[in-house]
């Protein structure tokens, strides 16, 4: 499993090949990439804030160091240039690339521009990774993120492959993404979350596949990204079980039923009407919402359904276009030096809160701080409160 607060190390082996690994020997704050030789001597120490585009905007500086490499993808070109120099390609969750020429003394390794000729290496890593993920799932084996406690010649994992397939709009990955969405939740989920009268089971690999399908221009089938099975969790021994007899609901079905959402509608009825939400969270004021990504033909949108104080009924609903899964900056720039904010109960994020950027984070969840901006006029799109009867 990827360790989010360790420095990334690129090490040359005695055989002449290169490997990725995490090591606290060279640094444990997560803000550097170290290129070292086979004896462990540092050839170059690259500060990410100076070399990786977007690092200052998207990497979270916490009390444990920089958290930036969730959904990380990385590989070596395995093809050398005319001078015989191999390259390492590091792709963080926000889609930029750090390309390093792995030179040896007397010439140090150096950062070079990310050129289009490297696209093949990334595409190959994604498609092969997804193919192996599907093969593992078909055998009943859980595919996992690369273990960097030992050397590896690539970095990836089921969610990372899906995430980056969507970012680069890799159409060749569609077949695998559809299979990944359809797999049994037991193979694509983890953990339980207690919520009001419910406990739910997230399926992050499924959500990642669905988000990627949307980004490449396709619509997912609509299998639930969350399951409400009524399991007891954290003392919630009376959790309600929610089921749909005629699911899953595709985007067009959900779209046609949104107009039937009513104020004070119980969540059980909402679930029956349009299915499970894609994501559940709360805003900076502690108000909970259910997020639905609606795949309407020609005009997809995100629907936030805000809940009452007891988190049992609908208070209000707002439609947003473009949908939250859209890439790019969906917020206008105002003040990049605001006081940092973080969710109650979370470690303090000692970062400079950036007011521009995407709505979804590395986990395809709504970035917590973004909910504060949705109603302040900085959302670069159309938002429309629904008239609930």
pLDDT digits (tens, 9 = 90+) for 148-200: 778 899 999 989 999 999 999 999 999 999 999 998 666 666 665 666 667 78
d(CA 385, CA 245): 30
Report the SS3 class of residue 229. strand
Residue partners of 159: CB distance under 8 A and separation at least 6? 71, 145, 204, 205, 208
Q: State the alpha helices, DSSP H only, in 260-300.
A: 267-274
Mean pLDDT of the chain: 84
Q: Which residue has the tokens 């690339």?
A: 97
Phi-psi region of 83 (alpha: psi -120 to 50; beta: other; left: phi over 0): alpha
Distance CA 22, CA 9 (A): 6
Q: Which two tokens stand for residue 292?
A: 């639905």
User: How do residues 194-250 score in pLDDT, each as one tens digit?
Assistant: 666 677 888 899 999 999 999 999 999 999 998 887 555 455 555 566 666 556 888
pLDDT, mean of residues 293-301: 93
Least confident of 49-53, 318-322, 374-378: 374-378
**Average pLDDT of the segment spanning 28-38:** 88
Model pTM score: 0.88
- Tell me the β-bridge partners of 34: 9, 45
CB atoms within 10 A of CB 263: 14
100's CB contacts (< 8 A; 6+ apart) are 10, 33, 35, 44, 46, 87, 88, 90, 109, 110, 111, 112
In the prediction, which pLDDT does 346 show? Answer: 42
Residue-level pLDDT at 2: 44
Strand arrangement of the beta sheet that strand 288-294 belongs to? 279-282, 288-294, 301-307, 314-321, 382-385
pLDDT tens, residue by residue, 250-259? 899 999 999 9
H-run or E-run covering 188: helix 185-188
Here the tokens at position 294 are: 């609606």
> pLDDT tens across 7-28, in order?
899 999 988 899 999 877 777 6
Q: How far apart are CA 196 and CA 209, in angstroms?
A: 28
Maximum Cα–Cα distance across the chain:
73
Q: What is the pLDDT of residues 269-278, one digit of tens each?
A: 999 999 999 9
Q: What is the pLDDT of residue 341?
A: 44
Report helix, strand or coil for 293: strand
Report the C-alpha gap between 287 and 79 in whole angstroms.
Answer: 52
Residue 156: name the closest of 70, 80, 46, 34 by CA.
Answer: 70
Q: Is 41 exposed, middle or buried (0-12, 13-18, 19+ CB in 10 A)?
A: exposed
Interval 313-325 mean pLDDT: 95
Residues facing 87 on adjacent strands: 101
Would you call 204 helix, strand, or coil by DSSP? helix
- CA 265 to CA 307: how far, in whole Å? 10
Q: In what order do the strands lie in the sheet with 87-91?
A: 110-112, 98-101, 87-91, 73-76, 154-155
Q: Per-residue pLDDT averaged across 116-136, rounded?
A: 93
CA dist 104 → 39, 186, 198, 250 (Å): 13, 47, 57, 54
| CB 239, CB 194: distance < 8 Å | yes
- pLDDT for residue 184: 66
The pLDDT value recorded for residue 244 is 60
Handedness of CA 296, 256, 226, 370 (dihedral sign): positive
Residue 338 has pLDDT above 50, yes or no: no
The pairing of beta strand 8-12 with beta strand 32-36: parallel
Would you call the peptide bond into 106 cis, given omega within 30 degrees of 0 as the criterion? yes
Residue 33 has pLDDT above 50, yes or no: yes
Ordered domains of the chain (ranges, CATH):
1-183 (no CATH), 187-334 (3.30.1450.10)
């Amino acid at each position: 499993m990827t360790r989010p607060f360790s420095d990334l190390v690129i090490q040359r082996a005695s055989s002449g090949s290169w490997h990725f690994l995490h090591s606290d020997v060279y640094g444990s704050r997560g803000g550097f990439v170290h290129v070292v030789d086979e004896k462990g001597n540092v050839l170059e120490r690259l500060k990410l804030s100076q070399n990786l585009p977007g690092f200052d905007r998207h990497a979270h500086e916490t009390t444990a160091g920089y958290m930036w490499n969730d959904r990380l993808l990385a590989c070596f070109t395995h093809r050398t240039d005319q001078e015989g120099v191999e390259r390492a390609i590091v792709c963080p969750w926000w889609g930029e690339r750090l390309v390093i020429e792995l030179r040896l003394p007397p010439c140090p390794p150096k950062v070079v521009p990310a050129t289009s000729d490297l696209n093949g290496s990334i595409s190959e890593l994604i498609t092969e990774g997804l193919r192996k993920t599907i093969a593992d799932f078909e055998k009943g084996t859980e595919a996992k993120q690369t273990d960097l406690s030992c050397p590896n010649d690539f970095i990836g994992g089921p969610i990372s492959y899906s995430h980056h397939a969507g970012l680069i709009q890799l159409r060749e990955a569609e077949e695998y993404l559809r299979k990944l969405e359809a797999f049994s939740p037991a193979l694509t989920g983890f953990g339980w979350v207690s919520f009001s009268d419910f406990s739910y089971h997230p399926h992050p690999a499924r959500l990642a596949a669905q988000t990627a399908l949307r980004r490449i221009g396709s619509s997912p089938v609509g299998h639930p990204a969350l399951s409400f099975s009524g399991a007891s969790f954290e003392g919630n021994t009376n959790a309600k079980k929610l089921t749909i007899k005629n699911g899953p609901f595709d985007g067009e079905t959900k779209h046609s039923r949104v107009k039937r959402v009513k104020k004070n509608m119980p969540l059980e009825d909402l679930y029956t009407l349009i299915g499970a939400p894609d994501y559940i969270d709360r805003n900076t004021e502690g108000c909970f919402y259910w997020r639905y990504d609606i795949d309407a033909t020609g005009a997809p949108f995100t629907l936030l359904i805000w809940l009452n104080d007891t988190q049992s009924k609908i208070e209000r609903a707002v439609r947003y276009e473009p949908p939250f899964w859209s890439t790019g900056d969906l917020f206008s720039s105002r003040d990049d030096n605001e006081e940092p904010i973080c969710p109650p109960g979370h470690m303090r994020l000692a970062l400079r809160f950036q007011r521009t950027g995407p709505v979804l984070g590395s986990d395809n969840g709504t970035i917590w701080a973004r909910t504060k901006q949705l109603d302040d006029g900085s959302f670069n799109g159309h938002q429309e409160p629904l008239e609930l009867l």
